[in-house]
């Protein structure tokens, strides 16, 4: 599937003069049209107060023929000015060729039929996310499994709470299923994280994201018993203060994890609600409803009695949760919100957006608010709530299915039954394009790209090989969004589901450390840090077939060519209109490219592999 000669627009700075407008601002937008398309007229259809309006575009003489980004000297650039009329102002392009019927260019691509507005491009006028967020690299830590500090010494089983089942850091495998999975306890703490911040920085991460640190009755702590103190098993409040201080002294940031959908059954709010039906906390949960309740008498997450669900129609829930988020900002630079998609929603009640707006309003403008969605988040994005999402739908799933390898059975494809299927690159492209086509460029850039997490199998197990693993990391480093690295995957750790993949870090297990994989993580994340186009540049797809994905990341100053291949196959020619005879040394990968007499380059058929080249 050759995509190189299609008209193109995205929400990046190359195509939108002011990507963070406020209401009433006038914004210039450009569309890039190959001369071979012979387009004679371009119009823009926008919606103001949901009413369509149409503007004629004009050729931009300063850009046409200017070879912006070092690519496409024969392209024709059309421009038009739009007003940011609404919180989200939709627009699309209508292109009329010299011969043939007009067609649309939307965020989902070129279409030759009428389509709904959900794939229109979007100007978003709500307060933007903090500027640092989209340029960060996040490192996720499951505290129980990352490091035990030197000062803590060996774990003493006699000092553990009654729920904890002690495990040996370097000998006991992380349990994947069955009784005791959530209680298996290795004893990592926050001071242990502080002692390894230099490692985190060395893999290119500048933001540390901690899964919950509040006390609970599990190793994952998503069953909080309070939001007012750090778990003493992790070192308590003082250890968090030490970690935050060390993080910030390095110019890094720290993110917390909050459960807004539910608390633990041991939480002080829920205990007060159980103890007294007249207590104000009683209204914070679902004890009485016109909907059937589980046998234990109250609504809970997945009908699990240990996880009572919060009722966000309660003003007390809203006030107290907003206060929790604000309280810890002395240490945290923002929050990842667990089960964001279900928070405030139950049967006929849908307070989901009000929840997101409430939490965002509780935070200062420089704090990030990131929502967990394991499936489709698009209806809840681009509003005055979440800044972005964990992009499992538009990145993780297509990457998994494209790079699926090995013979390990995987049972954690989120809400889909069965194993992770193996699909062609054209399917991966279609899914990635479908997600990106239904959110603004701002949301895409501020959403986390993920190849694995504490809730999933490890990417090494999914791909079955180091080579495919590194193809996934290459996509992580170069695709629009915020790369999230899961602690331990840089060493090639394995695991077939989320719990089994929560392997303790191999600080003292040299045989479990894949040093070439660690070196590749450092090189690829270093490349992202060095190249503005990989952080801020637009995305233009050039090619997709069963085994190959190719795209450009572009700014006004440069274009970077990115090519990923999962298996050996036929060479892929790319008509790029470059200067014949030019050689393109790789920024990453082993292969130098040479421009042929027609201005094209040919990607070799070697694979699996990943490469990045500068077109200039």
Please write the tens of the pLDDT for every residue from 250-283: 999 999 999 999 999 999 999 999 999 999 999 9
187 and 73: one domain? Answer: no
Q: Do residues 565 and 434 both lie within one domain?
A: no
**pLDDT score at 290:** 77
**In the prediction, which pLDDT does 73 show?**
78
**Residue 131 domain-assigned?**
no
Angle at the Cα of 203 from the Cα atoms of 200 and 208, rounded to 5 degrees:
35
Do residues 285 and 216 both lie within one domain?
Answer: no
Which residues are bridge partners to 560 per DSSP? 553, 614
Domain match, 169 and 188 both: yes
Q: Kindly state whether residues 220 and 326 are assigned to the same domain.
A: yes
Residues 546 and 608 in one domain: yes
Task: Reply yes or no on whether the pLDDT at 245 is more than 90.
Answer: yes
Total domains present in the chain? 4
Q: What is the pLDDT of residue 475?
A: 98
Quick one: 497 and 525 in the same domain? yes
Reading the block at residue 80, the tokens are: 């038009």
User: Where is average pLDDT lowest: 285-289, 505-509, 597-601?
Assistant: 285-289
Average pLDDT for 32-36: 92
pLDDT digit string (tens) for 460-514?
999 999 999 999 999 999 999 999 999 999 999 999 999 999 999 999 999 999 9
Over the stretch 353-376, which tens digit does the pLDDT of each residue have? Answer: 999 999 999 999 999 999 999 999
What number is the average pLDDT over the span 52-66? 93
Q: What local confidence, expressed as pLDDT, does residue 5 receive?
A: 83
Please report whether residue 6 resides in a domain.
no
- Indicate the average pLDDT of the chain: 95
- How much is the pLDDT for 415? 62
Angle at 557 between CA 554 and CA 559, to 5 degrees: 35
Band of the pLDDT at 70, cuts 50, 70, 90? low
Q: Which helix (H) or strand (E) holds 241?
A: helix 236-249
Establish if 240 belongs to a structural domain: yes
Residue 19 inside a domain? The answer is: no
Residue 455 domain flag:
yes
In a domain, 7, yes or no: no
**Domain end call among 530, 548, 577:** 530
Mean pLDDT of 35-63: 96
Question: Is residue 487 located within the same domain as residue 589?
Answer: no
pLDDT of amino acid 12: 97
**Residue 68 pLDDT exceeds 90:** no
pLDDT over threshold 90, residue 293: no
Taking 60 as the threshold, does the pLDDT of residue 412 lie above it?
no
Name residues whose C-beta falls within 8 Å of residue 33's C-beta, 6 or more positions apart in sequence.
7, 39, 42, 75, 76, 77, 78, 95
CA distance 274 to 201: 46
What percent of the chain is modeled with pLDDT above 70? 98
Residue 434: its pLDDT value, please? Answer: 96
Residue 4 has pLDDT above 90, yes or no: no
pLDDT, one tens digit per residue, over 316-350 is: 999 999 999 999 999 999 999 999 999 999 999 99
Domain span including residue 284: 267-300
The answer to whether residue 583 is domain-embedded is: yes
Domain CATH number, residue 325: 3.20.20.80
Q: Which CATH number fits the domain that encloses residue 566?
A: 2.60.40.1180
Q: Are residues 598 and 491 in the same domain?
A: no
| Residue where a domain terminates, one of 482, 509, 530 | 530
Q: Are residues 504 and 588 in the same domain?
A: no
pLDDT over 90, % of the chain:
92
HSE-up of 456 (CA within 13 Å, CB side)? 26
SS3 608: coil
User: Based on the domain organization, do 179 and 232 belong to the same domain?
Assistant: yes
> Dihedral (C-alpha) 396, 397, 402, 407: value to the nearest 10 degrees?
100
Q: Do both 522 and 542 map to the same domain?
A: no
CATH number of residue 107's parent domain: 2.60.40.10
Summarised one tens digit per residue, pLDDT across range 134-164 is 999 999 999 999 999 999 999 999 999 999 9
Domain presence at residue 369: yes
Domain boundary among 482, 504, 530: 530
């Amino acid at each position: 599937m050759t995509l190189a000669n299609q008209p193109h627009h995205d929400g990046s700075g190359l195509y939108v003069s002011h990507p963070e407008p406020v209401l009433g601002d006038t914004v210039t937008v450009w569309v890039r049209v190959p001369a071979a398309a012979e387009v004679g007229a371009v119009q823009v259809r926008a919606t103001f107060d949901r009413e369509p309006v149409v503007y004629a575009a004009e050729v931009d003489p300063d850009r046409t023929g200017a070879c912006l980004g070092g690519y496409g000297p024969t392209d024709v650039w059309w421009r038009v000015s739009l007003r940011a009329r609404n919180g989200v102002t939709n627009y699309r392009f209508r292109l009329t060729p010299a011969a043939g019927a007009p067609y649309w260019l939307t965020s989902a691509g070129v279409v030759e039929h009428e389509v709904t507005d959900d794939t229109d491009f979007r100007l978003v006028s709500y307060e933007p996310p903090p500027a640092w967020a989209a340029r960060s690299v996040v490192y996720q830590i499951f505290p129980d499994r990352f490091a035990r500090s030197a000062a803590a010494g060996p774990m003493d089983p006699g000092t553990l709470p009654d729920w904890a089942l002690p495990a040996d850091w370097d000998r006991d495998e992380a349990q994947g299923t069955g009784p005791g999975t959530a209680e298996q306890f290795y004893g990592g703490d926050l001071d242990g994280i502080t002692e390894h911040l230099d490692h985190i920085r060395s893999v290119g991460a500048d933001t540390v994201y901690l899964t919950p640190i509040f006390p609970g009755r599990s190793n994952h702590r998503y069953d909080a018993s309070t939001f007012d103190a750090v778990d003493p098993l992790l070192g308590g409040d003082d250890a968090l203060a030490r970690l935050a201080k060390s993080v910030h002294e390095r110019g890094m940031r720290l993110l917390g994890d909050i459960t807004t959908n539910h608390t633990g059954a041991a939480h002080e709010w829920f205990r007060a609600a159980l103890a007294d039906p007249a207590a104000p906390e009683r209204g914070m949960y679902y004890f009485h409803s016109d909907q059937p309740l589980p046998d234990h008498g109250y609504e809970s997450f997945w009908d699990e009695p240990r996880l009572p669900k919060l009722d966000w129609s309660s003003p007390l829930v809203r006030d107290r949760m907003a206060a929790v988020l604000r309280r810890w900002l002395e240490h945290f630079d923002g929050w990842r919100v667990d089960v964001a998609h279900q928070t405030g929603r139950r049967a006929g009640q849908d307070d989901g957006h009000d929840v997101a707006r409430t939490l965002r309003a509780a935070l200062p403008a420089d704090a990030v608010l990131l929502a967990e969605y394991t499936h489709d988040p698009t209806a809840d994005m681009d509003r005055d709530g979440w800044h972005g999402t964990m992009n499992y739908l538009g990145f993780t799933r297509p990457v998994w299915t494209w790079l699926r390898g090995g013979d390990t059975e995987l049972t954690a494809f989120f809400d889909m039954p069965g194993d992770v299927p193996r699909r062609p690159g054209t399917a991966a492209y279609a899914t990635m394009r479908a997600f990106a086509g239904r959110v603004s460029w701002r949301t895409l850039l501020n959403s986390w790209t993920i190849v694995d997490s504490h809730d999933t199998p490890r990417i090494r197990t999914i791909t079955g090989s180091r080579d495919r693993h590194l193809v996934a990391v290459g996509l992580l480093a170069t695709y629009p969004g915020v790369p999230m690295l899961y602690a331990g995957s840089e060493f090639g750790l394995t695991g077939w589901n989320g719990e089994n993949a929560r392997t303790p870090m191999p600080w003292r297990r040299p045989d479990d450390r894949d040093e070439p994989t660690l070196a590749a993580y450092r090189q690829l994340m270093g490349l992202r840090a060095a190249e503005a186009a990989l952080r801020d540049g637009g995305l233009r797809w050039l090619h997709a077939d069963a085994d190959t994905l190719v795209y450009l990341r572009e700014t006004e100053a440069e274009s970077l060519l990115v090519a990923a291949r999962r298996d050996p196959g036929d060479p892929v020619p790319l008509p790029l209109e470059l200067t014949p005879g030019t050689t393109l040394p790789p920024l990453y990968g082993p292969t130098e490219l040479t421009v042929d007499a027609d201005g094209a380059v040919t990607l070799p058929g070697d694979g699996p592999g990943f490469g990045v080249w500068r077109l200039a």
